[in-house]
């Protein structure tokens, strides 16, 4: 399984890969991509595929407060904000998982900085990675379904 995340915040899409740590936790990982609202679906889809392809496992698990802050700082820099609370205030999030070419897009409910992003399994979308335009369009729809 490979994993990536896309956020829609302030008329921009923010895409990043994820990595499994040695403790089994998914964390922010490079590469990252940002796009304006009017991005073409195929360009967005290609970025999603690149993020999925960059998925790694066995990454050293952050242990210290400074290491966790560094992981969070990368996300905040992508969003152009200084705090996670500010980032969450207007973000919609979609979890993206791919296995054997099948892509599952899971919209989320934004529960704020303390509550995080809760998966909305009732609104999952399913597609494949072989058509970037179709994948990009499905991601846009999944962002729309996120709250």
User: Phi-psi bin for 100: left (phi > 0), alpha (psi -120 to 50), beta?
Assistant: left
Q: What is the pTM of this model?
A: 0.91
The pLDDT value recorded for residue 71 is: 87
pLDDT tens readout for residues 74-86: 889 888 999 999 9
The pLDDT value recorded for residue 108 is: 97
The pLDDT value recorded for residue 78 is: 85
Ranges of residues in the chain whose predicted pLDDT is under 50? none
**Mind listing the domains of the chain with CATH numbers?**
2-145 (3.40.1590.10)
For the chain, report the end-to-end CA distance as a whole number of angstroms: 26
The pLDDT value recorded for residue 72 is: 87
């Amino acid at each position: 399984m490979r994993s990536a995340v896309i956020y829609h915040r302030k008329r921009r899409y923010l895409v990043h890969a994820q990595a499994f740590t040695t403790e089994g936790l998914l964390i922010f990982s490079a590469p990252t991509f940002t796009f304006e609202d009017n991005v073409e679906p195929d360009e967005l889809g290609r970025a999603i595929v690149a993020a999925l392809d960059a998925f790694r496992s066995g990454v050293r698990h952050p242990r210290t407060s400074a290491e966790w802050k560094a992981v969070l700082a990368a996300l905040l820099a992508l969003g152009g904000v200084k705090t996670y609370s500010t980032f969450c205030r207007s973000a919609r999030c979609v979890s993206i998982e791919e296995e054997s070419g099948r892509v599952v897009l899971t919209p989320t409910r934004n529960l704020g900085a303390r509550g995080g992003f809760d998966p909305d399994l009732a609104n999952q979308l399913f597609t494949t990675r072989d058509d970037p335009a179709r994948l990009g369009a499905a991601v846009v729809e999944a962002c729309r379904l996120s709250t």
